[in-house]
Amino acid sequence: MSFDALPARHDWTRDEVEALFALPLSDLILRAQAALRAHHDPAHVQRSRLLNIKTGGCAENCGYCSQSAYFPTGLKASKLMDCEDVVAVAARAKAEGAERFCMGAAWRELKDRDLPAIAEMVKGVKALGLETCMTLGMLSQAQADALGEAGLDYYNHNLDTGPEYYPSVVSTRTYRERLDTIEYVRHAGVKVCCGGILGMGERHQDRADLIVELAKLRPHPESIPINQLVPIAGTPLSGAPPVDGLDFVRWIAVARIVFPEAYVRLAAGRDQMSQELQAMCLLAGANSIFVGDKLLTTPLPGEARDRALLNQIERG
Ligand code: SAM
Ligand code: DTB
Ligand code: SF4
């Protein structure tokens, strides 16, 4: 069969997305594989590495997050890391095979006073030959421009879920504010990393709506992290019902079909998945993972298990 590239669409409807999700599994995977192969090397899984450069004490009340000051999660807050230490971690990550280095801060928004330190980190990490990504909360246009001038490659800012369910997850900011920051990032010429979380108690249609909202972005985000909720004791969502494993695989396949050109990342939640389920997600079109021992505050499977998994997917 041929793997011709279909044009990216921005007008997906909830019904169309739900119809993709409801395809027989083999048809869904075939279409996802065709989309993957039209734009990407199916034998390469992109490796990103995360570092929490500022932990905890965050002024937002995202109901899933260990780092919100609103919830008793037991996490100790820390101040912004020194640039030197960040670059040292990035150098180790590069030596261990990471291609992109993503720096996250538990901030509601970036403060201008922190911009010089952040710009130094971008320059230092980039000088190692790594792609750079930052996720620092809301930005102004001027701040997004400054990050672009520092050479930042990607900015991560997730929509998390569909607009109807969003207010049940977080009330200290709006969906519109999320979209505004994404627009500033795009306008600054920085690539957009934007995705969401499954398993927060959302309805099936909220997941479809998330895909629809992401698809409206012009151009589509270059990177789409699909997170499975990592339940955090003390947060309002700690007891949310887990996502069915094969439903998760189906959503990955839907994301691959709707966003054929993007890196679709199997992001948070891998530590709760079997190797086989992770392999299915990669067969369903995910082509990126976070490697290393830790996401921001929660564990990853680690080097040995990841090597075994990626050997299965990538070996010739
Ligand atoms: N404070 C910034 C923000 O929220 O944009 C950056 C860091 S924030 C922790 C990055 C993203 O991680 C969130 O938007 C959310 O999608 C994801 N995330 C956070 N906690 C999670 C959890 N417990 N399980 C799954 N994903 C999570
Ligand atoms: C994203 O979508 N997932 C990453 C990254 N972007 C910043 C973060 C996942 C965090 C999982 C929970 C934790 O480790 O605290
Ligand atoms: Fe803060 Fe980001 Fe966590 Fe929300 S997800 S509480 S903004 S660190």
Counting ligands in written order, the one closest to the CA of 75 is 2
The answer to whether residues 64 and 235 touch, using CB atoms and an 8 Å cutoff, is yes
What's the rounded Cα separation, in Å, for the pair 210 and 282? 21
Taking every pair of Cα atoms in the chain, the longest distance, rounded to a whole number of angstroms, is 55
7 Cα–ligand 2 center, Å: 30
- The token pair at 164 is 């109807």
Question: Catalytic annotation on 65?
Answer: yes
Beta-carbon contacts of 125 under 8 Å, excluding residues fewer than 6 positions away, are 86, 87, 90, 101, 103, 132
64: left (phi over 0), alpha (psi -120 to 50) or beta: alpha
* Residue 193 bears catalytic tag: yes
Q: Is the CB of 214 under 6 A from ligand 2?
A: no
Name the stretches of the chain with pLDDT < 50.
none
Q: Which of 31, 49, 102, 173 is catalytic?
A: 102
CA dist., res. 24 & res. 152, Å (int): 41
58 is known as an active-site residue: yes
Question: Which atom of ligand 2 is closest in space to residue 104's alpha carbon?
Answer: 7
Ligand 3 contact via 105 beta carbon (within 6 Å): no
Tell whether ligand 3 has an atom less than 6 A from the beta carbon of residue 62: yes
Q: Which of 83, 133, 194, 281 is catalytic?
A: 133
- Tell me, in angstroms, the distance from the centre of ligand 1 to residue 108's CA: 11
- The one catalytic residue in 83, 265, 270, 281 is 265
Summarised one tens digit per residue, pLDDT across range 238-274 is 999 999 999 999 999 999 999 999 999 999 999 999 9
Q: DSSP E strands: which ranges in the chain?
A: 46-54, 100-105, 131-135, 154-156, 191-193, 196-198, 223-228, 263-266, 288-291
**Residue 297 Cβ contacting ligand 2 at under 6 Å:** yes
Count the neighbouring beta carbons within 10 Å of the beta carbon of residue 271: 16
Cα 198 to middle of ligand 3, angstroms: 16
Q: Does the active-site annotation cover 265? A: yes
Name the closest-CA residue to atom 7, ligand 2: 104
Q: How many CB atoms lie within 10 A of CB 1?
A: 7
Residue-wise DSSP of 90-118: HHHHHHTT-SEEEEEE--SB--GGGHHHH
Residue 18's pLDDT is 98
Question: Which pLDDT score is estimated for 6?
Answer: 74
Whether residue 102 is annotated as binding a ligand: the answer is yes
225, 104 in Cβ contact below 8 A?
no
For domain 14-310, the CATH architecture is: Alpha-Beta Barrel (3.20)
Closest ligand 1 atom, residue 67 Cα:
9
133 annotated among ligand-binding-site residues: yes
Give domain limits for the chain.
14-310
Q: Is 133 a catalytic residue?
A: yes
Q: Tell me which residue has its CA closest to atom 15 in ligand 2.
A: 297
DSSP of 24-51, one letter per residue?
Answer: -HHHHHHHHHHHHHHHS-TT--EEEEEE
Assess whether the C-beta atom of 139 lies below 6 angstroms from ligand 1: no
